Chain A
Amino acid sequence: MIDALQPGEWDAIQLSLRVAAVSLVVSLPFAIGVALLLARKQFPGKLLVETLVHLPLVLPPVATGYVLLALFGTAGPVGGFLQNTFGVELAFRWTGAVLAAAIMAFPLMVRPMRVALEAVDPGLEQAAATLGASRLRTLLSITLPLAAPGVIAGAVLGFAKALGEFGATITLAANIPGETRTVPLAIWSALQTPGGEPAAWRLTVVAMMIAVLSLVVAEWLARPRRPHRA
C-alpha cells in the first residue's frame, strides 16, 4: 500500500527530526530550571511564572504563533535585535520552527519534571549539603538522578510535541518545502493536493513509527537501575 518515500517527504522527515531534536536540546536546561524553580522555591510572582509557562497549552496554537511572529519577526522587538546583533533570523526559517516547537512543548516538559522533582525528599539534599556537596553537585548526583523518570518523561513528551507541532509553526515559520515544512505540515499539504492521500498515509505511518520508537527509548532510559557505583 505504501510506496517508497518521495524526496520531498524525506526532506520533511529529516527536517522534523532536526527541528524536534534541536528544540529538545535547547529547551531542556530551561525546562529543568523552571521545573526546579516551581518545585523548590516560593517567591513573589510564582503564579505569574506558572501562568506564562502554561499559556501555550491553553492558547490556540495559531495565536501563540502569531504572538511569536510579532515578537520574533524581523520587524518585532526581539527578532530585530537578534537579526541585527547575531544575524539570526527566525521568521520563515527552520530556526523559527524550532522556536515554535520549543515554546509549544515547554509546558508539557515542565509538568512531569516538576512533579518528579517535588517528589524528591529535600532531606536528601540537606544530607548532601551537610556532607559538603555544592548545589550543582547535589543537583547532578542526587536530585536529577532521583527525578530521572519524570525528567525523561518530560523530555519525551516535549520531543513528541515538537514533532507534531502545527499551528504555531505554520504561523511563525510558514510552510516552505525543505525549510519549514515538517511532517505535520507535509501531511496537511498532501491532503490539500488532489491525489495526495498516499503521500499523507506514508508520512502518517512514519510519524507513528517515530512516536513508538521514542516511547520505547524513553521506557529504556527510565528503566529501574541496578545500583551504580559512583
Chain B
Amino acid sequence: MLDLNVRLERDGFRLDASLSASAGVTALFGPSGAGKTTLAHVLAGLLRPDEGRIRLDDDILFDSDQKLWKPARQRRIGCVFQEARLFPHLSTEGNLRFALRQARGADPVIGWDDAVEMFELAALLPRRPDRLSGGERQRVALARALLAAPRLLILDEPLAALDPHRRKRLVGYLRRLRDHLDLPLVYITHEPREIARFADEAVLMREGRILLAGAAHDVLSSGAFVEMTGDPDPWSVLAPEVTGHTPTGATMLALGAQAFRIPRIDALPGEQVRLVVRGRDLLLSTATSPLEEISIRNAFAVEIGSIASQDGVCLVDLMLGASRLALRLPAATVRALGLEPGRPAQVLIRSVAFEGRSLEPETCIAGELDT
C-alpha cells in the first residue's frame, strides 16, 4: 500500500500530488509535461520534494515534518526507465548480477533462472547493451529491476522508445510480469490503450496536479479522460478466463456463465486475459429473444449499470459478469430504448483487442468445442 502526498517547485514547475496505490497496476496517465516522471522520481527517491509525506506499507520514505528522507538506494523501489539505462560497460549478465548482488538479504521477487526464462535472456547474457535492440534492452532492464528484489516497480513509458513491432512483443513480457509476480506496479504512460491493457487503477495528471484517480474502468470512461485525450469513445476491458484451445485454431474463453471463442491467442488455459473493447464496437439491444440474422455472431447477456448523462449524451455502463463495458449513446436513444439501471439487455461486440491484435469474438454454448 502506497500513500503519497507531496509538493515540489522546480524551475517554474509545480508538482502538487497526492495519491494512494494498492497491489496491482496503477497507471499514471497524462500529456507530456504533466509531471508523471517527476512524480515517479519523487517516489523512487531520486528527487526530494519540498514538503509532504510518502509511505510504503509501514515504511515512511519521506516526511518533511520529521525531516526524514530515504534516498533511492534505501527504498527498494525498482525503476525501469524509458531509455533502459543499462550499464554500457557490463554485459547483460554483468548488469543482472549487479542487481542480484544488491538483493542479498531481501525477499527475492524472482530467481535468476526464472528471470532469464521469463524475459528470454539466455542468448543475450554475454552481449553488451550496444549489441542489443531497443526491445531487448527493455527486457534486460525489467529483469535487472526485478532481480534487485523491489517492493514496488515503476515503469516509465517502457514502450515509448520502441517501434510498433517491438512494442507488441514487449507487451507480452509485461503481461507475464503483471500476472505472475505479486508486485505492485506504477505504470507511466500517455497511451490510453496501455491503461486498458494493464492497469487496475489509473491516475490522471495534468500540469503537476492529479485530476482524477480511481479504478481504471471509471477513469477511462470519465469526462476528464475524454477531455484530456480528445477521444470521446470510451475504453473497456473484458477479463475472461481461457478455458482451452481448439484444434481449428480458436481460443475458448469463459466470462462468468458465458462462453465465447476468438482466433487463437498466446495464453494458457486457466489464465485470465484482458481484452480491450472500444465503445464504438458495441451494439446494444433490449430485445429479449436471441438476436438472429445479423453478421455479428455473438450476443452477451448484460445488465445496464449506471447511466451518466451530460450535454445530451449518455455514458452507459453495462455489467457483464464481473466485467464492465462502457458506451456512449445519445440521450434520446437512451430514452427511446427505455434504458435504466438494472434492466437486462444484450450486447454485440464487433471486435476486441488482445495485445494490439484485433479479434472478432463468437459466442457459443458453454463447453461447446469447435467442430
Q: Could you tell me the distance in whole angstroms from the C-beta of B86 to the nearest C-beta in chain A? A: 8
Q: Could you tell me the distance in whole angstroms from the C-beta of B235 to the nearest C-beta in chain A? A: 31
Cβ-neighbour of A129 out of B73, B89, B91 (below 8 A) = B73
In the complex, the number of residue pairs spanning A and B with C-beta atoms less than 8 Å apart equals: 82
Contact flag A130-B78 (CB < 8 Å), given A124-B85, A145-B89: yes
Q: How far is the CA of A145 from the CA of B44 in the complex (A)?
A: 25
Binding site for B on A (CB under 8 A): 121, 123-124, 126-135, 141-142, 145-146, 225, 227-230
| Residues 95-112 of B contacting A (Cβ, < 8 Å) | 97-99, 101-103
* B46 interfacial contact with A, CB 8 Å: yes
* B192 interfacial contact with A, CB 8 Å: no
User: Contact: B45 with A227, CB < 8 Å?
Assistant: no
Chain B residues positioned under 8 Å from A229 (CB to CB): 90-91, 93-94, 97
| Sample (19) of A-B pairs whose CB atoms are under 8 Å apart | A123-B81, A130-B79, A130-B145, A130-B148, A131-B98, A131-B102, A134-B73, A135-B73, A145-B89, A146-B89, A225-B89, A227-B94, A227-B127, A228-B89, A228-B90, A228-B94, A229-B93, A230-B90, A230-B94
Q: Could you tell me the distance in whole angstroms from the C-beta of A120 to the nearest C-beta in chain B? A: 10
Closest to B153 in A: A130
Q: How far is the CA of A93 from the CA of B207 in the complex (A)?
A: 66
* B71 interfacial contact with A, CB 8 Å: yes
Chain A residues positioned under 8 Å from B91 (CB to CB): 227-229
Cβ-neighbour of A126 out of B72, B74, B128 (below 8 A) = B72
* B83 interfacial contact with A, CB 8 Å: yes
| Residues 18-50 of B contacting A (Cβ, < 8 Å) | 44-46
User: Contact: B102 with A127, CB < 8 Å?
Assistant: no
User: Contact: A227 with B128, CB < 8 Å?
Assistant: yes
Q: How far is the CA of A123 from the CA of B86 in the complex (A)?
A: 10
Q: How far is the CA of A128 from the CA of B101 in the complex (A)?
A: 12
User: Contact: B46 with A230, CB < 8 Å?
Assistant: no
Q: How far is the CA of A159 from the CA of B33 in the complex (A)?
A: 49
User: Contact: A123 with B85, CB < 8 Å?
Assistant: yes
Chain B residues positioned under 8 Å from A128 (CB to CB): 73, 87, 98
Contact flag A129-B94 (CB < 8 Å), given A123-B81, A145-B89: no
Chain B residues positioned under 8 Å from A124 (CB to CB): 85, 87-88
* B274 interfacial contact with A, CB 8 Å: no
Closest to A130 in B: B79
Contact flag A129-B148 (CB < 8 Å), given A124-B87, A141-B98, A228-B94: no
Count chain B residues whose beta carbon lies closer than 8 angstroms to a beta carbon of A. Answer: 34
Chain A residues positioned under 8 Å from B350 (CB to CB): none
Contact flag A129-B93 (CB < 8 Å), given A123-B81, A142-B87: no
Chain A residues positioned under 8 Å from B139 (CB to CB): none
Q: How far is the CA of A217 from the CA of B183 in the complex (A)?
A: 49
Contact flag A132-B103 (CB < 8 Å), given A127-B79, A227-B126, A227-B127: yes
Closest to A135 in B: B73
Q: Could you tell me the distance in whole angstroms from the C-beta of A65 to the nearest C-beta in chain B? A: 41
Chain B residues positioned under 8 Å from A135 (CB to CB): 73
Chain A residues positioned under 8 Å from B93 (CB to CB): 229-230
* B278 interfacial contact with A, CB 8 Å: no
* B197 interfacial contact with A, CB 8 Å: no
* B144 interfacial contact with A, CB 8 Å: yes
Closest 4 CB pairs of A and B: A227-B91, A132-B102, A129-B72, A127-B85
User: Contact: A126 with B148, CB < 8 Å?
Assistant: no
Chain B residues positioned under 8 Å from A132 (CB to CB): 73-74, 76, 102-103, 148
* B307 interfacial contact with A, CB 8 Å: no
Closest to B148 in A: A131
Q: Could you tell me the distance in whole angstroms from the C-beta of B75 to the nearest C-beta in chain A? A: 8
User: Contact: B128 with A131, CB < 8 Å?
Assistant: no
Closest to B73 in A: A129
Chain B residues positioned under 8 Å from A141 (CB to CB): 87, 98
* B220 interfacial contact with A, CB 8 Å: no
Q: How far is the CA of A14 from the CA of B93 in the complex (A)?
A: 45
Q: Could you tell me the distance in whole angstroms from the C-beta of A107 to the nearest C-beta in chain B? A: 28
Chain B residues positioned under 8 Å from A134 (CB to CB): 73
Q: How far is the CA of A166 from the CA of B89 in the complex (A)?
A: 39
Q: How far is the CA of A9 from the CA of B83 in the complex (A)?
A: 58
Q: Could you tell me the distance in whole angstroms from the C-beta of A218 to the nearest C-beta in chain B? A: 18
Q: How far is the CA of A107 from the CA of B90 in the complex (A)?
A: 31
Q: Could you tell me the distance in whole angstroms from the C-beta of B94 to the nearest C-beta in chain A? A: 4
Q: Could you tell me the distance in whole angstroms from the C-beta of B140 to the nearest C-beta in chain A? A: 12
* B77 interfacial contact with A, CB 8 Å: yes
User: Contact: B98 with A133, CB < 8 Å?
Assistant: yes
Chain B residues positioned under 8 Å from A230 (CB to CB): 90, 93-94, 97-98, 101
Cβ-neighbour of B46 out of A129, A145, A228 (below 8 A) = A129
User: Could you say which of B81, B87, B97 has the most chain A C-beta atoms within 10 Å of its C-beta?
Assistant: B87
